[in-house]
């Protein structure tokens, strides 16, 4: 059952607009990143501090039913807010991938597994490689897996 609760839309207008369009159309519209044509998913999390439902468009990096969630924030020096939501509530996650709503549990991956998922992410969205060169922080990689 997808996450529920009080929804707190993003403070960024483009995020609010994309989430709204994506969800109204099951990803038939708003399902790509800007003009790139590359597909996105909507990540649902619970706020680490507020406990409110948050929704964030992320690049679609899927492999055999699992999804990589790349906390790049475009190579910024700090993690995106949703990183802290996943750390606080790794078992309170929903992935919205077009007409699929999937409850998931996430885990941060390291070592060889991180390299494998990072390579998949860069193949899906090449700018990730550039983002890592812009920051001194180790960009976290999470893997989301469906829960029954």
Residue range 79-137, pLDDT digits in tens: 999 999 999 999 999 999 999 999 999 999 999 999 999 999 999 999 999 999 999 99
Q: What is the pLDDT of residues 16-71, one digit of tens each?
A: 999 999 999 988 888 888 778 899 999 999 999 999 999 999 999 999 999 999 99
CATH code, domain with 17: 2.30.110.10
pTM over 0.75: yes
Q: What is the pLDDT of residue 26?
A: 86
User: Is 89 inside a domain boundary?
Assistant: yes
User: Is 17 inside a domain boundary?
Assistant: yes
What range defines the domain where residue 100 resides?
13-146
Do 124 and 61 touch, CB atoms closer than 8 A? Answer: yes
User: Is 8 inside a domain boundary?
Assistant: no
User: Is 85 inside a domain boundary?
Assistant: yes
User: Is 1 inside a domain boundary?
Assistant: no
Do 93 and 69 touch, CB atoms closer than 8 A? Answer: no
User: Is 3 inside a domain boundary?
Assistant: no
Domain count, the chain: 1
């Amino acid at each position: 059952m997808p996450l529920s609760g009080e929804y707190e839309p993003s403070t960024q207008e483009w995020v609010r607009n994309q989430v709204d369009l994506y969800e109204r159309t099951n990803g038939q519209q708003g399902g790509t990143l800007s003009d790139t044509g590359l597909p996105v998913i909507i990540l649902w999390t619970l706020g680490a501090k507020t406990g409110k439902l948050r929704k964030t468009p992320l690049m679609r990096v899927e492999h055999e039913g699992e999804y990589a969630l790349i906390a790049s924030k475009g190579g910024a020096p700090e993690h995106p807010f949703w990183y802290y939501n996943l750390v606080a509530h790794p078992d309170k996650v929903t992935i919205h991938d077009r007409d699929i709503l999937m409850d998931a549990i996430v885990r941060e991956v390291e070592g060889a597994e991180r390299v494998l998922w990072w390579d998949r992410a860069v193949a899906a969205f090449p700018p990730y490689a550039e983002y890592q060169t812009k920051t001194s922080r180790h960009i976290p990689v999470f893997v989301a897996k469906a829960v029954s």
